[in-house]
Structure 1
């Protein structure tokens, strides 16, 4: 599509608007576009309205850009009239809040073929004048008077068209009439922007020719095309493997000198605010860095590109009585990239100093190159000495450069070169400073810390003051969290022994971790072992229900109440005193459960029965092979 503006001139520099149109079409997609719904403004319900925050969120997710870039792009779309505001029509910016917007109809897009003529603008102003009963803004009044004088010969036609459009608009419903008024106002704000507002469609002078016009092929153009393809056929081809190998070699060679990949010494001045890096790498510093001197040995272009390296190479050439070669090369560079108005004067000076017979710094070049250079100096331009400059450059590269790397001058420079040490980064409170990246802790360490925290939490919730309570053993038990027993007056322990952070858990409350193995609690193991020993022939074998009986009783029916015993309190106290004498603190089980007890490697656990009866002490067993 050819893009034109009001005067039908070609606008090739506005071709980027087609990309905006493609993006706007994606935004209007019913499946993946911006969420639109009916919104009520005053007493009018506007269909297909959207908020500015929804537009910004869609741009961020669709284009994978930051919120700031999305804000700039949204303002760009609104300024060109593809989205117009409903509540504040004059403010052509995208607000990141609940402000309402609508998509502009494609008829009013800037890329349409029809121009924004003065007659259409006069009809729009006349219609607004009829609707507002003469109340227009200042710039609209000025434009109205100007157009009345400019196209006065057809002003009757303008008034007739304005009245007809106003009458047709009144026949529409209120929502359509309001939407059409907003569309027209947004269109003319873009194409006839008021004073003080930036005209986004103003791009400067028009081009005389159309760059999009198809040119007719001439004999000369066809000959040039044939010559181009013949030269392309004669060009030597290189395998992709060879090219990729060269790229890899270059990357490996220059990786140590890349400040982004390998960092810079002593520190990055843009991060640490330390200017020592710039001081050490100044153009003509007295003692350069070792990395800088080593880079001169990579190739000749690296040496001659560095001002300090060129100074050292010039000193070497003077000792070999060939310093005029580098002087001529520098003069040619000044002619090529210097002031254009002084090209003729500089060319004459270079010829008298380096090329003329008997010149003070005469250079040795072959006769063919000299003839080409002398003929070109009749009509000097900035590239007139390219042939002679290339000849001298290759002479220094193939002859002098190899001897310079082996000379004592380069070796002494390399020995004196300094190697800066990395400095610590100073902390800064600026928000844009780069944070010091630290490696994340190992998942294994995190898992161990999590297991230790859960074990400490489980140990804090264990209540060792209660006698053996009925708790059905779970086959998936990993961490024992204690049983729920309300405090009773017969309990020898006070309520302060319990953990104040967690309430009493429910009976049979067990936690299983997905990565842990199935293991019963240590108190359950001690109880079962003591009961099995009592059943084998101990004196307390028949007193108190076992864990198995407890499980069966709780599964079959309610818990059977034990017969009342008069001396319950004294027996519990006796059992507790015996329990303490037999080594509560020396038990490895309770040392592991309680955070206040140090772990011990000796001692036995004497679990308490339901009525506080002391169980027989188990004999130690030795494990033999």
Structure 2
């Protein structure tokens, strides 16, 4: 099979397709190359280059129009086959070596079968003429460059996920490049027809019916409800996004207003900050000041052990490994052991699981107990806190902003202007 240069391909396109602009012909040729109908004989990147690279036309068997969808088993056989041939032109690229290692781990149980298939293909290849073998190797490489492209290159065989869901292309079926199955032994290489698809059985239809019934019973949200939820979330948090709503008070690093620092020094939460605690239980747990206020409220009701247990478990997850066992024992003795000074209320199932986990103490020993306590606080303590006078007082409190300091930049500017007028 003869080879061609880029200029030959461009001229052929301009002549046969009546293209007047060479740039348009180059672009069209690059698209054809990206699909694998034309490929460079010594490069994995399928495009037309202006550097004297030689190109070859792909054999019709490998054309993408044949609706190929090769499986990873075929790709593993191809890569394994190349490693068995000590030739520089067949040496694996770095990304191919990584793919081979990943496939070897994925197909560890049937790697012996893959290796045997690759050996059989190599033996058959060696019986062919040298020139024919070189051409076949380049065609096979170009085929896999289309279906397993170089990282960073566009995968032209990818299908839009919405089209995949519609199942409007029944002709595109999975078929083996080498025509092998797990039960078959050595076969001829690439030029054999694919195996016929298996007929649908009654069991397959029953499975499909079961699957479709399960899909019908699924709880699916309407797009209108999803949109309403997203809009509500955005409207709720828009005032906390400094890219949309200017911070109030303003950032002292880009303005002369130091009110923000004064508020931080006073350790009194702003009205905006307190309002955010009411959005969700997670918001108050994320905020150090919010946790302190919530803990103070629980202490006033003599029920702070749940929050203290939750915080202790959170702290346990950050402890050095050498301190984990000691800290697990301390938490157990304080909150869960018989006669514990700050006993928490756990259901029997969570307590039994936690008791077993304590024997082999780790960072996640109290995971089940923590989740149970979290749900209790969210449904009971947190709701009472939002209704309490303590939270309502914080929410209605006026932000204490020092008017003197806030107005100082304006007064300074006014004084400077007056001086200029007097001069």
Higher helix share: 2
- Shorter chain as denominator, the TM-score bin is 0.3 to 0.5
With the length of structure 1 as denominator, give the TM-score of the two structures.
Answer: 0.33
Tell me which structure has the larger Cα radius of gyration.
Answer: 1
With the length of structure 2 as denominator, give the TM-score of the two structures.
Answer: 0.46
Structure of higher RCO (CA pairs closer than 8 Å, 6+ residues apart): 2
